[in-house]
Every structure is written in structure tokens, then in C-alpha cells.
């Protein structure tokens, strides 16, 4: 009997976090794709403590799509549990993952302490990961085993994010794992590459059943909020994610300031993690889209403009609120759960001259959501804080493709595409997207079950 290649959907099915898939070739060579943290109301849910169900020494390699915690967050546990094989990703994913995992170790330690438990892993476990981690650039084919090679393609989601194309069965079969798919066209990054000729597709579906708000007018609204707040002499506080969102906002601020479309007030990036992520972005300008690269080639340093300051130390951070007058503060976290932004919100929420600018989706249970929902007071560090500041929201900054664009993405595959496996979405989003692909593109699309193994005949 001739064996077929197989995929096992270990986790990251019917949920947006915990991506972890296994490809097995006809000759039994196994590759793991992503090893993400399972997240929910806590950064690390109890499920992450379960032992891995597979033999850790049966893999040729672990391949990582991108540096978000829900794709890399269990790697330290994997290595701690005995995985000794190579890890591969783009160079940028490796750099960002080091930042993300070191940060995660701190958060996991705090969560574990609160729960009176041991953390899943610590900083030493994070350090043990990187000697195994090798890098490969987009489009450089890499042979991982007899009859298994991979090529990374640009997913356009965050810096270095990739889709993993596996070639097997004497080059007769190709399988593409999307990781997360960027909301192209993005301000800084290149567009998601087209699929081309493949046989099977394993794709994300975070926004499988929703379309984004229009991006039209987004830049104008950003400018208006800045102008209004600056005219009042207030402070504009922007809670923002360290990776990608901060760099996009800095790029947009760079353009507004340098074209004199907003007054030249002090602008602070008050987050060590965002500052480091900005350095990594700045070091990989060759990956930006044509428009941004052209601007850079004309001499513009897009992450440097008059009165921009990066505040690393706690003292510098505390000095910001002692400064009178109009200013802008970007700080993490993006939904105001932890991070330095909380202190700034505590300080500026009672100030009628100031504005808190929420950028995009705020999850239920977060301080950001309470603000978005129009709370009149909130509790911060045990104190009741009355809200007198204006609360504004900017939409259109999602880093994921929406439902229409996910369908359009699948349509970039040739007729050779046999089947689509829809994963990494809430059950409703996965089912809806699978149905759309079936109906609109007449391509067979299914939602696998967690733990299921499917043969790619």
C-alpha cells in the first residue's frame, strides 16, 4: 500500500490561539508547524500545562510562521520537555520571537504567582530555545528531510510573517499553511503573496465571518483627534500593541509631523518592548512595501522625526506626566491590560483636556473595552477614577484579512487546489468561511476537529 501525506490538527482549531499542526510525509517524516500558547481570559490557559501528546524526538523540524505568542508561546515548554530538533523561521520572526518570549516569561511568572502555581516556563527555558533556532529567508527553498522541503512566503501580517509551503511526494504535492494573513494593503508591509499552484491549504479564519470597518477617513480622523487635543493643550494617550501597531502609528505620525499637518509637540513611545520592536522593524526596511522603501530611499527615516522620544527607563516614564502642555504618549498594552499605559490612563482620564485614543478592537473584560463602552468611572490599581477625558476610537488597523479578503485570497490558487482546511477561528467564523469557499469558489473546504488526522490523498 502506498502511504499518503497527513496533517494532524493538534490545537488551534475552533479557536484563534494555540496554533500547532503536524505534517507527516508519505515516508513518515514529520514537521511541526507553530507551537503557540493557548490564550483566553488569561495569557496562558490551563490547557498549556498538559503534556504534549506526540513523541518530541520524532520531528525533523519545527517551522514557525510568525512571532505572535499564539504561534510561538509554547516553544520554551517544547524544548524544556525534550525537543532537540531545529527550529526554522525568517530572521525577523526569530528576533521578534525572542522579544515576545522574554516578555511572556515575565507575564507567565506574574500569572502563576497570582494563582499560587509554578509558571509553565521561565526565562532560562526561553534562553534554551534560541541555540536551536535557525533562519531562512523568504523564497529560499530548504530541504528538511528526504522528500520534504519548505519555502517561506510573505504573509504580510507582521514583520517576518510567513506562509509555509511544503513540497513533497517527488514534488508532486504542495501544502500551504498560512499562519496569520495580513490585512493587505498594509501601511508598512508588503501584500500577502498569492497562493499559486498548491494541492492543499490550511488557513486562518479569525475574521472568517466578519468584514472590517472601512479604512477610509482613518488618517483624517487620527489628525483631527490630535489637533483637537493639542488645541486644548491636553495629552493624547494611545494604548497600542508593541509589534506592528506602534510602528504603523509612528510611520503615520512621521508623515503628519514632517508635512506640518499637526503641531510639533513632544511624542513619547513609552514601552521598552515597543522600542525594541521598532528597532527590529527599522533594521529590516528591505521588507517594507515599495511606497515606504521609496520614501526611505529619498532620505526619510520613518521612525525618526522632530520631538519624538523613546523612554526606556521607569524614571523617564514617570517624568512624562510631570510635564505640562500638549503631548502624545504611545504605550502598551493595546487593550490597557497591564503595561505602562495604565499609569498614564490613571493620570489623564480625569483630565477634561486630554484624550484616550483606542485603536481598534478591545476585548471583553479589558479596561480598553470599558472605556470604549462609555464607562463614567473605572477602577485602576484599586482606585476609582472618574472619566473626564474624551474617549475616541480609530478603526481600520486590524492586522488580519477580513471575510471578503480571505475568500479573495483563496481565489489566488490555481485549479489544482483540492481542499481547504479552515482553522484558527471561532467555530462560527470557521464554518462561515468554509461555506463561502464551498459556495463562491466551488472549492471543497472543511473544518477539521481538534486532534484529527487527515490523509492528503
Q: Give the binding site for Zn ion (CB under 5 A).
A: 68, 180
Contact assessment for residue 398 and residue 334, using Cβ atoms and an 8 Å cutoff: no
Give the chain's end-to-end CA distance (angstroms, integer).
12
CB of 96 to Zn ion, least distance (A): 11
**Sheet architecture: strand order including 419-422:** 142-145, 148-154, 162-168, 173-177, 200-203, 419-422, 444-446
3-state SS record for 90-117? CHHHHHHHHHHHHHHHHHHHHHHHHHCC
CB of 65 to Zn ion, least distance (A): 8
In the complex with Zn ion, which residue's Cβ is closer, 24 or 204? 204
Name the nearest CA neighbour of 86 among 70, 63, 54: 63
Which grid coordinates are listed for 155? 504573509
In the complex with Zn ion, which residue's Cβ is closer, 24 or 180? 180
CB of 68 to Zn ion, least distance (A): 4
CB of 180 to Zn ion, least distance (A): 4
Peptide bond into 372 cis (omega under 30): no
In the complex with Zn ion, which residue's Cβ is closer, 69 or 389? 69
In the complex with Zn ion, which residue's Cβ is closer, 60 or 180? 180
CB of 204 to Zn ion, least distance (A): 8
In the complex with Zn ion, which residue's Cβ is closer, 25 or 183? 183
In the complex with Zn ion, which residue's Cβ is closer, 68 or 153? 68
CB of 403 to Zn ion, least distance (A): 17
- Angstrom distance (rounded) from CA 295 to CA 64: 31
In the complex with Zn ion, which residue's Cβ is closer, 88 or 310? 88
Kindly tell me the burial class for residue 12, based on how many C-beta atoms sit within 10 Å of its own C-beta (0-12, 13-18, 19 or more): buried
- Angstrom distance (rounded) from CA 392 to CA 336: 14
CB of 146 to Zn ion, least distance (A): 32
Amino acid at each position: 500500500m502506498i502511504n499518503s501525506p497527513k496533517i494532524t490538527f493538534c490545537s488551534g482549531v475552533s479557536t484563534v490561539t494555540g496554533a500547532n499542526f503536524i505534517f507527516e510525509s508519505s515516508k513518515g517524516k514529520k514537521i511541526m508547524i507553530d507551537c503557540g500558547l493557548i490564550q483566553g481570559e488569561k495569557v496562558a490557559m490551563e490547557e498549556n500545562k498538559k503534556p504534549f501528546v506526540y513523541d518530541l524526538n520524532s520531528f525533523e523540524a519545527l517551522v514557525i510562521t510568525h512571532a505572535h505568542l499564539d504561534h510561538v508561546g509554547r516553544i520554551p515548554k517544547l524544548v524544556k520537555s525534550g525537543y532537540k530538533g531545529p527550529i526554522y523561521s525568517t530572521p525577523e520572526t526569530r528576533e521578534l520571537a525572542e522579544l515576545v518570549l522574554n516578555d511572556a516569561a515575565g507575564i507567565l511568572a506574574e500569572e502563576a504567582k497570582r494563582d499560587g502555581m509554578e509558571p509553565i516556563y521561565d526565562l532560562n527555558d526561553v534562553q534554551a530555545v534560541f541555540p536551536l533556532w535557525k533562519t531562512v529567508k523568504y523564497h529560499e527553498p530548504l530541504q528538511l528531510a528526504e522528500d520534504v522541503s519548505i519555502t517561506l512566503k510573505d504573509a504580510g501580517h507582521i514583520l517576518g510573517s510567513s506562509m509555509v509551503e511544503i513540497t513533497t511526494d517527488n514534488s508532486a504535492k504542495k501544502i500551504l499553511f498560512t499562519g496569520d494573513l495580513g490585512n493587505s494593503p498594509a501601511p508598512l508591509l508588503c501584500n500577502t503573496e498569492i497562493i499559486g499552484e498548491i494541492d492543499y491549504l490550511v488557513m486562518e479564519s479569525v475574521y472568517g465571518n466578519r468584514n472590517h470597518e472601512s479604512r477610509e477617513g482613518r488618517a483624517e480622523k487620527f489628525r483631527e483627534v490630535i489637533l483637537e487635543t493639542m488645541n486644548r493643550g491636553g495629552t493624547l494617550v494611545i494604548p497600542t500593541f508593541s509589534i506592528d501597531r506602534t510602528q504603523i502609528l509612528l510611520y503615520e505620525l512621521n508623515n503628519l509631523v514632517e508635512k506640518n499637518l499637526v503641531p510639533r509637540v513632544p511624542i513619547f513611545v513609552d514601552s521598552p518592548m515597543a522600542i525594541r520592536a521598532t528597532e527590529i522593524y527599522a533594521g529590516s526596511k528591505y521588507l517594507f512595501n515599495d511606497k515606504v522603501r521609496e520614501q526611505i530611499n529619498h532620505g526619510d527615516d520613518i521612525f525618526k522625526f522632530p520631538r519624538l522620544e523613546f523612554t526606556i527607563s521607569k524614571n523617564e516614564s514617570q517624568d512624562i506626566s510631570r510635564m505640562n502642555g500638549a503631548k502624545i504618549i504611545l504605550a502598551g498594552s493595546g487593550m490597557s491590560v497591564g503595561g505602562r499605559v495604565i499609569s498614564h490612563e490613571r493620570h489623564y482620564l480625569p483630565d477634561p483636556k486630554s484624550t484616550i485614543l483606542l485603536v481598534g478592537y478591545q476585548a471583553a473584560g479589558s479596561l480598553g473595552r470599558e472605556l470604549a463602552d462609555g464607562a463614567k468611572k473605572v477602577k485602576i490599581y484599586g482606585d476609582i477614577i472618574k472619566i473626564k477625558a474624551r474617549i475616541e476610537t480609530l478603526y481600520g488597523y486590524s492586522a488580519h484579512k477580513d471575510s471578503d479578503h480571505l475568500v479573495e485570497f483563496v481565489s489566488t490558487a490555481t485549479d489544482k487546489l483540492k481542499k481547504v482546511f479552515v482553522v484558527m477561528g471561532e467555530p462560527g467564523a470557521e464554518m462561515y468561511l468554509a461555506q463561502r469557499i464551498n459556495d463562491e469558489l466551488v472549492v471543497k473546504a472543511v473544518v477539521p476537529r481538534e486532534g484529527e488526522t487527515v490523509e492528503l490523498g
